[in-house]
Amino acid sequence: MRHGLCLAIALAGLLGGAQTAAPQEGPKKLRVVLFGAHTMDPELACGGLAALLRKGGHEVILAYSATFRGDLKINGEPQAVVHQREATQACKILDVTPKFFPYANEKLIADDASVKEVGAWLEEVKPDIVVTHWPVDTHPNHHVTHSLVWQNYAWQGGWSLYFFEIMGGQQTQLFSPDLYLDIGSVVDRKREACFAYPTHPPERPWGVHDGMQKRRGAECGVTDAEAYVLLGPKKGCALLPVTFLPRTRDYLPIPAKKEGK
């Protein structure tokens, strides 16, 4: 039972004799940050979760720690401008809010200044829940982003922390989830958001994630699923307000990466 719920029940007991009943309120709306390294990472990893949270009326922010490399340009425009424009469109499709950190891919490190900058933003936003990269990942930006969030979780608290997987087996490694989310009702919306990135391009990563969704779905008895791990739970902090399914069979093998891709 959540801390807030315990408090509500206790207060209800104390106020049991009151003549005027308080207005009925629905379940608390939560603020959830889905924190990825690159543009398209949070959409690919947890676009289904984002869409389901919005269906439930919760606030969702997609944070991106690194949106460009050096002074690279795309059709004459800085890569950051193009990537952030595409991410803004993806967020519009998911009806969520983007947050861009100013780091370049090749300079993203979890040093004191970066940890504090991310921490200051989290303090300001005051999320109920943050979902980010699993720490064992072949992409350095992914495990650095994990560290930026994790260090603030360890020191700051106040929110629950979950992990997602990205390009499972190619990037995220050794991920053993126990929380499965049926995304069948929103998978088209997730796909649409991922395809808001024409310059990435989206076909190959979507193909990998489509296979992951089918594999995770088979592991819990549905067609398409995303899978998560909860660190904690942390006392007094809310959990993701979605219905997770348990795993119903052994983990399925991850297909080998195709040559030349």
Contacts to Zn ion by CB under 5 A: 37-38, 41
Minimum Å gap between C-beta 41 and Zn ion is: 4
Q: Based on CB atoms, which residue is closest to Zn ion, 31 or 38? A: 38
Output the six-digit token pair for 7: 């408090």
Closer Cβ to Zn ion, 171 or 182, answer by number: 171
Place of tokens 């969030």: 149
Cβ-in-10-Å burial (0-12, 13-18, 19+) of 132 comes to: buried
What does the alpha-carbon distance between residue 20 and residue 199 come to, in Å, rounded to a whole number?
A: 59
In the complex, least distance from residue 220 CB atom to Zn ion, rounded to whole angstroms: 25
Q: Looking at beta carbons only, is 51 or 66 nearer to Zn ion? A: 66
Nearest one of 184, 181, 204 to 194, comparing CA atoms: 204
Smallest distance from Zn ion to CB 13, Å: 49
Q: Tell the smallest beta-carbon distance from residue 235 to Zn ion (Å).
A: 32
> Between the CA atoms of 255, 69, 66 and 169, what dihedral angle is there, to the nearest 10 degrees?
10
Minimum separation from the CB atom of position 226 to Zn ion (A): 16
Which helix (H) or strand (E) is 148 found in, with range? Answer: helix 140-156
Cβ nearer to Zn ion, comparing 101 with 244: 101
Q: Is the peptide bond before 246 cis (omega within 30 degrees of 0)?
A: no
- Least separation in angstroms between CB 142 and Zn ion: 6
CA distances to 12, 22, 58, 214 from 25, rounded to whole Å, are: 13, 9, 15, 38
> Which residue's Cβ has the minimum distance to Zn ion?
38
Q: How far apart are CA 66 and CA 8, in angstroms?
A: 41
- E strands present in 14-113: 31-36, 59-68, 73-74, 77-78, 97-104
Residue 97 C-alpha from the chain's centroid: 13
| Residue 125 Cβ vs Zn ion, minimum distance, rounded to whole Å | 22
